[in-house]
Amino acid sequence: MGDWWQRNIAEPGKLPLLLALGAFVLTFLLTRVVTRLIRAGKGPFGNVETGGVHVHHVVPGIVLTVIGGFGAVAGGGHGFGSALSAVLFGAGAGLVLDEFALILHLDDVYWTEAGRKSVEVVVVTAALVGLVLAGFTPFGVDGLTEDERQDRASVLTTIGTNFLFSLVALGKGKARLAVFGVIVPVLALIGAVRLARPGSLWARRFYRSRPRARAKALLRAYRHDRRWAGPGRAVQDWIGGRPDPAPARPLGRRDG
């Protein structure tokens, strides 16, 4: 264990990243526990208000992120100050991304269906940082040999190709594969070669005059969503809590 720690964490200088990731995950989990207790009316916790204004935890999160970020830059990456800055930054990022949906919608959607985006963003962020911590680098440059690293053309070609795969996957409506493909290029390649999601930019541009491809994309998306939507929602509910049910529309009301 000592050899692994020295070789994979200490020598590459990844201790601040590990501390930031640990603080990020722990802060998010603790925040969700507290907010669920507040929602249930249990425990000594309550919403923070000043002058009749509800202070969301994204506010102290921004403060911690700013302090931790500038502290990490000033600390030079070594010593106690750098470690403390990493913890502050990770904790602040956890508070901020826990209310990502609020920032996105500029509305308090924490316990609504739209609030699920916060949980998804936190999980994706933690996974990406974990991959970097495990040794992966963006666009797969870590997979090059020493000779290839010395050849700038090879490095630039590899980065450009992997970036193109991620861009195509994103255009096909496969955002998760595109994002994770930045770290693990083979995922971007899978997203780039598979059929596009219905309604994606790629499908609107290239499937307009291809009814068979359009129908196949619709069927594949339906089967994928039917298989994975339920388990995905269950995991999100387990991590972040079940959203409030959407209010029922009055009978006879029509939109528009």
DSSP structural state of residue 113: G
> Does some domain include residue 223?
no
> Does some domain include residue 113?
yes
Interval 110-160: pLDDT, tens: 999 899 999 999 999 999 999 888 877 776 665 555 665 566 677 778 788
> Does some domain include residue 186?
no
Residue 57's closest CA among 35, 86, 85? 35
Once rounded to an integer, what is the mean pLDDT over residues 16-31? 95
> Does some domain include residue 90?
yes
Residue, of 63 and 47, whose pLDDT is higher:
63
Q: How many CB atoms lie within 10 A of CB 254?
A: 5
Residue 79's closest CA among 21, 16, 132, 6? 16
75: containing domain: 1-135
> Does some domain include residue 201?
no
> Does some domain include residue 249?
no
Residue, of 45 and 12, whose pLDDT is higher:
45
> Does some domain include residue 82?
yes
> Does some domain include residue 173?
no
Number of structural domains (the chain) is 1
- pLDDT, residue 256, reads 44
